Structure 1
Amino acid sequence: MTSHQPIMTLEELRAFFDREFPQIHEGGRTYHIEAIGPLSATMRMDYHDRHLRPGGTISGPAMMGLADLALYAAILAQIGPVALTVTTNLNFNFMRKPDQRALIAECRLLKLGRRLAVGEVSIFSEGSSDIVCHATGTYSIPDRR
């Protein structure tokens, strides 16, 4: 893990999500892993009515799900397909109302240890550089012995 290069390819990670979490695509595919890199991942959530709250804005729970998935993707890209890696903490700051278009989540891992990973996610409306949501999260990584 010291090289910080992903050990899963983008296609392997996408196949893992499709196999292990087909429910995230129920009603149509809206979550997409766009890129992975050293200690990072980028995800996209297509704009869709099912992600809206009253008033026509993208809901907080939709942004929370996107951030959580981005953290999971960044971690698994680094450690491999360890399905039982789980969220232990998430913190969200909603900065501004997102536009009615796709959201882009850029995740960066701040710490990747044997048992814990800590990362941050910045979410943007597609085409904008203004952060609509900032999240931090911690994941527990199971013993892989």
Structure 2
Amino acid sequence: MDLDTMLAVIRRGVPLAGEWGVELLEAADGRALLRLPADARLLRPGNTISGPALMGLADVAMWAALLSLTEGRDDSVTSTMTVNFLRPAGSGPVLAEARIVKRGKRMVFGEILLRAEGSEEPAVHVTTTWAVIAPGR
């Protein structure tokens, strides 16, 4: 599946990703790289991107990593998400790098690092577990 098609799947499944202008830069082999462009609507006091926006970006990035393994067909859902805010992400843009650590029959465990574009320092570290929804359920 090419990136444009996968991004269309993501934006249908998570319309907020489209509203925020989330970009899919890479997705293959259980990994994904997404970009959240600068958007004043997503800022909190202190001129940094809000926690809810960063958590949403991380969640979408994990789904993109899953979609890269399932040819764009995945109905798995977030079961848990642990978010560690390490430093302010700035006012944008932000990159999210997701990778699947373990994929089982019923659960998927992943990790996402978010950082300000142009920085190598992680701003947010996320671990997440997703429940696999079997086709036909």
**TM norm structure 2:** 0.90
- How many Å apart are 1:83 and its aligned residue? 4.8
Structure 2 unaligned spans of 5+: none
Identical-pair percentage: 35
Secondary structure of 1:131's counterpart equals coil
Deviations 1:91-111 (A, max 9, x none): 011111122220000111101
- 1:123 paired with 2:117, answer no
In the TM superposition, 1:85-100 aligns within 5 A as 85-100=76-91
1:97-133 deviations in Å (ceiling 9; x for gaps): 1222200001111011222111100111000001000
The Cα RMSD (Å) is 1.6
Relative to structure 1, is the Cα distance of residues 23 and 97 closer, same or farther in structure 2, using a 3 angstrom cutoff? closer
Q: Which residue of 1 aligns with 2:15?
A: 22
CA-to-aligned-CA distance 1:26-58 (integer Å, 9 cap, x gap): 3xx421111012120000001111111122111
Deviant stretches of 4+, over 6 Å: none
- The match for 1:137 is 128
- Equivalent runs, 1:62-81 vs 2, <5 Å: 62-81=53-72
For structure 1, list consecutive stretches of 5 or more residues without a partner in the other structure: 1-7
Structure-2 residue corresponding to 1:59 = 50
* Amino acid in the other structure paired with 1:138: T
